[in-house]
Structure 1
Amino acid sequence: MTLRTTLLASAAVIWAGVALGQALDLSRGGPTEVTATDGIEWRQADQVVIAHGNAKAIRDGVTIDADRLMARYRPRGGAAAAPTTGESPASSSEIWRFEADGQVQISTATDRAAGDRAVYDIDQAVMVLTGRDLWLTTQDSRITARDSLEYWTPRRMAVARGAAVVTTQDGRRIQGDTIVGYFLEAAPEPPVRGARPAAARPGQPPAGQQAATLAGAPASGPPSVPGAGSKLDRVEAFGNIEIRTATEIVRGDRAVYSPVSGIARVLGNVRITRGENQLNGQEAIVDLTANTARLVSSPGARVQGLIVPNSEQPGADQPGGTRPRPGGRP
């Protein structure tokens, strides 16, 4: 037997905005098909709708998978009471919190995020992933974290906390205690001429599953385009920074990195290590395109270095090989 109910569509927009990396507009609507193997329940007294067992939500190319999905709602606009028995929660209520538990994955054609638990607070417009193996991938980057992974939709900003790492598609890697990534929205692809419009709703769920349609007012703008993901614009890292080039390791207290230029500026207790050689200072410029790093003089601060004459470097023992010096100068 198929169970069908209607909820405010903002729940669908929440996840679409997070997964696609597009600006989140809570005024937009549209249906979302939710399926679950163990049933979907509506607890009127608790003002919550819950999908149990292999729960899946799909909207416009965005898919949310979890062991359990939950939507919490409240009276809309100061309504005096929740809907009566038989009415839809969307008739006089609004979703204020959306939760997913157990093996959570949010995905589109290009962007994916995962964790053990995900919470989206509509009032704060922020998603927080917690648990093990936290990661977020976009068109050109991957961000991982140990403690939590946040996505602030209005700011188009991801915050990774605890042993955080950002890796770009060309292999550049920055590590720190906390990493903040800022994204640009990629331009959506133009529609294909002559393409058929999408069906009004997904097909029936597989046998043994129950389904619910999360629906609301029609969308106020064009639908989200599957595959219109995010591109990394800037990275800020804090605490125990580590950046590696082909021959050097650069450490410091904080860093700012531009994927466009490939340049990272490292500040505070900077240490550039090449083999057994080390240079110390307060600021360094790392060019991850040219694979070089150099200290920058700061007013009132001295640059220090430890040079080991017989420090072995790859290629130094080869015929015609050279032994590079710290700072990226052969």
Structure 2
Amino acid sequence: MKFRSLGAGLILGAALAVPAGAQSLDLGGTPGAAPQPIQITASQGIQWQQENQVVIAMGNAKAVRGDVTVTADQLIAHYRKKATAAADAKAAPGAATDILNQGNTSLYEIEASGHVHIYTATDNAWADHAVYSMDDAVLVLTGQHLKLTTPHDTITARDSVEYYAAKRQAVARGNALIVADDGRSIAADTLIGDLAPAVSSPAPAAPGADALAQAGQLQKVEAIGHVVIRTTEDTATGDTGVYLPQQGRARLGGDVHIIQGPNEMSGSDALVDMKTGIATLLAGPGGQVAGTITPGSAPQK
């Protein structure tokens, strides 16, 4: 989900899955590689505020770094002078954006506002507002019509879509929904996705690392509040849930209902195999499983 693949990336990342060949939405660059310049253009001009240490691009603003492009009504690049730059304050850039590509400054945050679109050749993210912190390797998308797409998944949310590179975690908040290209989906108030690293390592990704590019597929989604899982034939609901995308399995807890056509069963716990469509409903301690079954209503295979 960074300014180079939400997900997860985003994301959450992402659509909470990053298949082989996907490009990360991360403007932070690849750790250990030579720094890539960032190119900024705008139709209404670029303003350099030296006292505030920001570069503002206004009107059809566009920033390109490596494979990642960010477009918005306005872009604000925040930078700071490095410690070694204090003794060389006379070095003036030839243009406002040159300050971002000099060795005596460090770009630490990019803010995009209005009709934000972040994309690579494989992934896209849309929002009204986006902030990417290079210090913390955190991307936060907010506004209306939040959407993140990868070659196999689509994520939408009402409140925010966030990606935390150090934890390899994507979070969608508010009517969060993940829809896979085969039609399976999971919705909840909040969805938290954990991405598996491409290379097995016990150490977490360092801040600033392009963790989405390093990450493998989404390995787990935790769903909180008003959980709804849909396959092509069944709908399962609960208060909480855990979904394992690579296995195609989910576990629901709380007030659980499984619906298939006119048939409905309820309990306190359920195991759902989203690949086979088989659901196992369990009763809680001292409780029981209840249901309504209509004869001859099973779907034709």
Q: Sort the TM-score into its range (normalised by shorter chain).
A: 0.7 to 0.9
Cα distance, 1:66 vs. partner?
0.9
1:136–1:301 Cα change, 3 Å: farther
1:27–1:119 Cα change, 3 Å: farther
In structure 2, distance between residues paired with 1:139 and 1:48 = 35
Pick which of 101-110 and 76-85 moved more.
76-85
Q: What amino acid is the match of 1:31?
A: P
In structure 1, distance between residues paired with 2:140 and 2:161 = 6
Residue in structure 2 matching 1:251, options 237, 240, 244: 237
Deviations 1:250-304 (A, max 9, x none): 1111111122111111112212234454322221011111122221344x24223
**CA contact 1:75–1:82 (8 Å) conserved in 2:** no
| 2:228 aligned counterpart, secondary structure | strand
In structure 2, distance between residues paired with 1:186 and 1:22 = 17
Aligned to 1:323: 297
Question: Which structure 1 residue ranges, 5 or more long, are not aligned?
Answer: 1-13, 188-223, 317-321
**CA contact 1:103–1:115 (8 Å) conserved in 2:** yes
Rg bigger for which structure?
A: 1
In structure 2, distance between residues paired with 1:72 and 1:160 = 26
Residue in structure 1 matching 2:282, options 296, 299, 302: 296
Deviations 1:193-237 (A, max 9, x none): xxxxxxxxxxxxxxxxxxxxxxxxxxxxxxx9xx99963332211
Aligned to 2:24: 21
In structure 1, distance between residues paired with 2:262 and 2:184 = 23
Aligned counterparts, 1:196-235, within 5 A = 231-235=217-221
Residue in structure 2 matching 1:263, options 242, 249, 259: 249
Aligned to 1:307: 292
TM-score, normalised relative to structure 1? 0.70
Whether 1:73 aligns to 2:79 is yes
1:104–1:143 Cα change, 3 Å: same
Aligned to 1:43: 49
Question: Which structure 2 residue ranges, 5 or more long, are not aligned?
Answer: 10-22, 94-98, 200-209
Q: What amino acid is the match of 2:188?
A: G
In structure 2, distance between residues paired with 1:184 and 1:22 = 17
Whether 1:240 aligns to 2:226 is yes
In structure 2, distance between residues paired with 1:82 and 1:237 = 52
**CA contact 2:110–2:131 (8 Å) conserved in 1:** yes
Sequence identity percentage = 40
In structure 2, distance between residues paired with 1:274 and 1:238 = 23
Aligned to 1:7: none
In structure 2, distance between residues paired with 1:108 and 1:230 = 17
Q: CA RMSD in A?
A: 3.1
